[in-house]
A and B are shown apart, each in its own frame.
Chain A
Amino acid sequence: MMQSISVQHIVKTYSEKKQTIKALNDISFEVSKGELFGIIGPDGAGKTSLFRILTTLLLADSGTATVEGLDVVKDLKAIRKISGYMPGRFSLYQDLSVIENLNFFATIFNTTVDENYDLIKDIYSQIEPFKHRRAGKLSGGMKQKLALSCALIHRPTVLFLDEPTTGVDAVSRKEFWEMLRRLKEQGITILVSTPYMDEASMCDRVALMQSGSIMTINTPQGIVQSFKNAIFGVRAKNMLHLLNDLKSNEMVSQAYPSGIYHHVIMKNGESKEELSAYLQTKNHQQLEIIDSTPTIEDCFMNLMQENNE
């Protein structure tokens, strides 16, 4: 069996009064054993519903899903034994200390901290100096490390991490992904969700998700390569006026800020020279136009647009 996680045609709706919200709209994908698979999408994409279904905490309306060959409905107890789950909201016991939380989760899974210490050592050693501090008094970064340690303490085969890096600064986010790469080397299958598109590059494969649907599944490189249009990076002294001029030009299909440059996609493959000639008539100072490579965000926005059409 090569697949660790298999999801087939999962649908989940929520009804409140007269409104029905389709949280997951016929989702299918597979994650291989030992793969680091990312679910990338903004709030409201359906990421958490998907995680709750796979961790047996929520029932789907229809469709099937298996984790290590076990059915999420019939085999829920077996799945819970082999999965580690870190929910988006901090869910450890705030009134227990760091070490008490860790012992608690180890005991529930019929094991001890010592037995699996080697697996969490890399992560746990960073918070060990604070092991007698109550979990509720930890900083965000330390809470995140404790939650990951607790999710790992029973040596799970599959790890589910729901938005582990949300609200975390750029440095800590980088460190967290380095930890995940090292866990992957131990053979653990990891399903991780994130709203930060730049984190896609840290995954083996990603699913780009929006409004309950998966728009595409591919390797990060594959997603970038499947972007068909040429993208120009354009900058000038006044970026707001530049953007307005770009948007009002008929040759331009899309123009939006993207870091240092505005990214520009032309309608009919018009050249840099044509764009430059137009912008010069608008008297932009320090004008610069370069060939740019698409980012995951560019691809995401492009797919969003295609889906809306």
Chain B
Amino acid sequence: MSNDIIISATKLTKRFGHFTAVDEITFDVHKGEIFGFLGANGAGKTTAMRMLCGLSMPTSGKASVAGFDVYKHNEDIKKNIGYMSQKFSLYEDLTVRENMQLYGGIYGKSKAFIKDKTQEIVDQLHLGNEADKLVKSLPLGWKQKLAFSVAIFHEPGIVFLDEPTGGVDPVTRREFWNMIYEAADKGITVFVTTHYMDEAEYCSRVSIMVDGKIEAMDTPAELRKRYNAPSMDEVFLKLARKATRSE
């Protein structure tokens, strides 16, 4: 199992002045896993995620992502991961096709690659009639699915998803998770945060952060058993109620 570790963090810590946002978190994520990264607002999820994406230098501890060290090779990490958040993902004033060209170009992909991949996504999402329309004219559900496709356009080994399904309708939410499942099935590792506790059940493993520390980490089934809870929602409530700080 140890050979297929794609994210590894050991005592990873981030302090802002006297405030320890992330407090010695240690965990591994395996290739092809859907890893749910849960925690209350202010638990330290975003800070931890920013360190793993090479956007923020840790204060101490070790971490590597896709084989690259977060201190020394953070630029290589950025090239080898995909990222999508609910807040920002696509350029609204560019067309569907232009967005894909832009992202493909930024990641240094060839014209031929971009052309083929664009066609593949347009077919997959049935966007044939919308490919040359501005992204802002698309319904939200399509935007989110397109944003995910764009996040893995350059075929990264890992994709980080920060609350990707906030506010979307329940049918789209499930279609979105279908795309996540398929990506994981192809070997892409998915690192995802969410406030929907039913989505926590869809993860291979989840970690729950409380006050900067990882309080629990296991498969959803194991966690439900350990905390004697009928659902992940209950597990989360039991753990997160212990929190003493909020953001």
Contact = CB atoms under 8 A, between A and B. Distances in A.
A139 B42 contact: yes
Nearest to B141: A42
Contacts of B171: 256, 301, 304
Nearest to B168: A42
Contacts of A169: 39-41, 195, 240
Interface string A29-62: 0000000000001111000000000000000000
A141 B43 CA distance: 12
Interface string B166-192: 111111101001100110010000000
Contact of A43 (B41, B140, B220, B240): B140
B17 interface: no
A172 B40 contact: yes
Interface stretch (A5-13, A73-81, A257-265): A257-265
B89 interface: no
A289 interface: no
A164 to B, nearest CB: 14
Given A240-B185, A257-B174, A44 B202 contact: no
A169 B208 CA distance: 12
B198 interface: yes
B241 interface: yes
A42 B174 contact: no
A200 to B, nearest CB: 12
A19 interface: yes
B193 to A, nearest CB: 10
Contacts of A168: 41, 195
B174 A256 contact: yes
B41 A260 contact: no
Nearest to A171: B240
A87 interface: no
A173 to B, nearest CB: 8
Nearest to B233: A170
B246 A139 contact: yes
B24 interface: no
B170 A171 contact: no
A166 B168 CA distance: 12
A256 B175 CA distance: 9
A210 B140 CA distance: 12
B198 A301 contact: no
A197 B170 contact: yes
Given A141-B246, A170-B197, A297 B40 contact: no
Interface string A155-188: 0000000000011111111100000000000000
Interface residues of A, number: 34
Interface string A127-165: 000000000000111100000000000000000000000
A168 B181 CA distance: 25
B247 A171 contact: no
A172 B139 CA distance: 29
Given A169-B240, A171-B40, A141 B197 contact: no
Contacts of B168: 42-43, 195
A279 interface: no
A300 interface: yes
A243 B139 CA distance: 26
A239 interface: yes
A19 B202 CA distance: 38
Contacts of B166: 166-167, 195
B40 to A, nearest CB: 4
Contact of B167 (A43, A140, A172): A43
A196 B163 CA distance: 13
B56 interface: no
Contacts of A259: 197-198, 201, 231-232
Interface in A1-34: 19
Interface in A197-216: 197, 210
B243 interface: yes
A172 B247 CA distance: 12
Interface in A223-279: 239-240, 243, 256-260
Contacts of B125: none
A259 B40 CA distance: 19
Contacts of A174: 237
A276 B207 CA distance: 33
Nearest to B86: A167
A239 B202 CA distance: 9
15 contacts: A19-B137, A43-B168, A166-B166, A169-B39, A170-B40, A170-B195, A171-B237, A171-B243, A174-B237, A257-B177, A257-B198, A257-B201, A259-B197, A304-B169, A304-B170
Given A171-B237, A260-B231, 20 more contacts: A43-B167, A44-B139, A139-B247, A140-B41, A141-B41, A141-B246, A166-B167, A169-B40, A169-B41, A170-B236, A170-B240, A171-B40, A172-B40, A172-B41, A210-B169, A240-B182, A243-B181, A257-B201, A301-B170, A304-B169
Interface of B: 39-42, 137, 139-141, 163, 166-172, 174, 177-178, 181-182, 185, 195-198, 201-202, 220, 224, 231-233, 236-237, 240-241, 243, 246-247
